[in-house]
Structure 1
């Protein structure tokens, strides 16, 4: 379906139409619109596709056409008087799930001029700020990020920015560790302390593997991240974050704590994608092997 310029009518004197050119007609219309104050932004209308007062309301009439309701594709010219048609013709697109990252926010509802769409998306929403996606330039432009980063750094969280190396504590200096993360105070070490500490040189290449990380290997060569996500949802073992490394036939799952990760390992034993049985283990144990 194609959409041209919405029209308004100017009475043309046919007695003077003999021998006139298209340019003569354009000039008369432009002059009439300006002299009668019929033109709208941008002005003056001479030597352009003219916009006129009421063009937006004129465009709204297209939604009452049966052919518009049935059509799948609409071509709309980029001129100002067709702005209303362009808004009405906006096509909602679904993007491949492989393009989504852990910081992308899922959409629950999509509102268009003609429809209200419930997406039914079950993808978990991101929590907090993914500092590895924040650049120094963004920090300078958004002052609130600086205060949030200082607060999380004081709480012992990893706030390494994009392109930065992970900050290591000075020798002999203890780093603040949040008790809410399930760790004991420095003066009361427990048997789980070592397993909760970050090991450097992560095989995932995105920071250190924790006891809350689960390794998934032996992925089929043609597997997609959506296949694994679907299987995890069906088993009720959705992670906080999924790092996909399809070319290496592996993925890493981040869970809230070591107990949740161990439960996921037990739940995912024997999981198959296609004809292949996946290898599932705690990421640190896999790295040690």
Structure 2
């Protein structure tokens, strides 16, 4: 909470709400540290704090050890004490909160409150109203502690909606102000105001959304709700703008053009590529043999997940047999790669049929074998008859 004073005073000890409250939930902000200390100083009172960023639940419980000194109580009431000494309250447990103390950036005498803009205080109250056996309700007292300069006569009403949390009592260093009117507090989560990004940030929200969806509640997020175009009536007579194709950068143009100009090229297959080596290492090994990636007449396609690569070469620039000789014995690390030439030049076909028979013999129910099961997944149809059995993982 932003404040012009580091420690605003806690609710006055003579305030009826503070005296009678058995369970209080106090925000984790630094200016509310004195309030947490005052609650911990009363052993008969229970102190709940919000779970940081609502990661594992809604509330954490802070319990002061027996015979705890004032210095130890203040350390427990600090933000470090919340992070290290508070214990999560199971979401399935029931509890009843009597007083909620929140921080504010600005507040008016009607009880309208502005926070830091993240919406955690509003969201925490809405979650508490529908969980822990309705831990809070319309009769729960909400108090804020601020400096006098943060209190306004009236804030613009159009800034507030039904999901915003109002306050009942305003405590400043010089006075206690009770809201002049009663404003309704959040009763439930309004899912249409939440985004998928917010849902991904708060794990407990995903769990509650799943539960509410199962019981038939509408849990559509802001991203899922179609937004009506306010100018839809004025767009019917507008002239439609003809869509133009997005112009590719010169580098992408040349790359796309090169893939269409490879007709008639031969392909050298490289297998047994270790998967723990990045593609850049293979490019460096081939460059050392005189075949630099994207040089004239060379196009290298690497499939690192499958452990294979395809070296497409222009026959007018490179001779097939010379390429095979230059790549003979090429290694990546300690593994010698399997180099196979193009079948158009070698006339040698890989024993695909032999591999197919082995697959059928290993299958205990030959009738269940489909044509898709018989053949291994081959990354390039052009090389289907050139991959040997040792290069394809069963």
**TM over 0.5: same fold?**
no
Bigger Cα Rg: 2
TM-score range, shorter chain: under 0.3
Structure richer in strand, relative to its length: 2
TM-score (norm 1): 0.26
